[in-house]
Amino acid sequence: MKRIIGQLPYRSSNVHKSRLAAAFMCAGLRWPLIGSLVAATAGCSTLGNSPSGQALSTLLPGQGKATAAQAEAVPFASLALDTSSLRGLAVLGALTGQQTHWPLAAGNFFTLDHGGLYAMSSPEGDLLATRYTTPSAAEGTIMPWQQPSPATFTLERHWVTPEGIAMVDYADASMQCSAATLEALVLAELPLERCDVTYQWQSGNTTHAQWWRSPTSFRLWQVSEQAWPDGPDVAWQVARPWWNE
């Protein structure tokens, strides 16, 4: 069963936000950054694809989905992000280890871990943390999309409802990937494998995700999924990657 792990004041994700704030301060960024591009010299977080070692964070203003023209104009790591409340081009704010932090408009946040969804804020609630566990983790495979297909793994997610209830649920998951085909992204057309993922949650819910990964590096370039059972849908594409291959 889905378990309630405590009643907290709404926006209890301030705990997570404070951690993000520390990361942004370490990178020389102000928190929150709303509505404009802000550049600063990076500290302990280094953005490898930034030619001057700078970091940017914002959600570019504008209506509709992120465009190639927007992405072309920003020479920094970026995502074309589409959630229930925000849509546009998100620019990398800080990188800590394998986590990338994308501060958005109005103090919202979006965090990826190894390129997969880790945390986010939304009107439907805040995703606080995600944990993936794979059978081959001991052999060096960290995330499920880094496994050969087909594969199984488990998922744990913690979130807060708009009423301030902290929740946790666990899922047994399966992943099945198809052969690579050319996929049109914001700034490129790449051969990517589509991986269809099914989550069977302990609460009795079933949700699905689609991952598009590189057939060679197994990095995620595009994702579409439901953040948690009865939660918001979220999708993103990598416009400019934050990694070097």
- List, for residues 180-228, the tens digit of each pLDDT value: 999 999 999 999 999 999 999 999 999 999 999 999 999 999 999 999 9
Q: How far apart are CA 228 and CA 157, in angstroms?
A: 7
Is residue 214 in a domain?
A: yes
Residue 245 located in a structural domain: no
The answer to whether position 45 is within a domain reads: yes
Whether residue 3 has pLDDT greater than 80:
no
- For residue 232, the one-letter residue type is P
pLDDT for the residue 105: 79
Question: Where are any strands of DSSP class E within the chain?
Answer: 3-7, 39-41, 54-56, 58-59, 78-83, 87-91, 94-96, 99-101, 110-113, 116-122, 125-133, 151-160, 165-177, 181-184, 189-201, 206-213, 220-226, 233-240
Query: Is 71 inside any structural domain?
Result: yes
Each residue's pLDDT tens digit, 71-116 = 888 888 999 999 877 888 889 999 998 999 998 877 788 999 999 9
Residues 6 or more apart in contact with residue 126 via CB below 8 angstroms:
11, 12, 13, 16, 119, 120, 159, 160
Give one DSSP letter per residue of 6-35, joined into a string: EE--TTTTHHHHHHHHHHHHHTT--SS--S
Position 139 scores a pLDDT of 61
Per residue, the 3-state secondary structure of 225-245, as one string, reads EECCCCCCEEEEEEEECCCCC
Please count the CA atoms within 13 angstroms of the CA of 92 that sit on its side-chain side.
Answer: 29
Average pLDDT of the chain?
77
128 vs 69: which has the higher pLDDT:
128
Q: Is residue 185 part of a domain?
A: yes
What's the pLDDT at 86?
81
Q: What is the mean pLDDT of residues 24-36?
A: 32
The whole-number pLDDT of residue 138 equals 60
Looking up residue 27, the CATH number of its domain turns out to be 2.40.360.10
- Average pLDDT on 4-21 reads 38
Cβ neighbour number for residue 176 with a 10 Å cutoff: 12
Q: Which two tokens stand for residue 2?
A: 């889905």
Helix, strand or coil for residue 64? Answer: coil
Q: Say what the pLDDT of residue 72 is.
A: 84
- Give how many domains the chain has, as a whole number: 1
Does residue 95 form part of some domain?
Answer: yes
Range of the domain at 30: 3-240
Q: Is the peptide bond before 61 cis (omega within 30 degrees of 0)?
A: no
Residue 206 included in any domain: yes
Could you tell me if residue 196 is inside a domain? Answer: yes
Q: How many whole angstroms separate alpha carbon 238 and alpha carbon 245?
A: 14
Banded model confidence at residue 141, pLDDT cuts 50, 70, 90: low
Q: What is the pLDDT of residue 19?
A: 41
| Prediction pTM value | 0.77
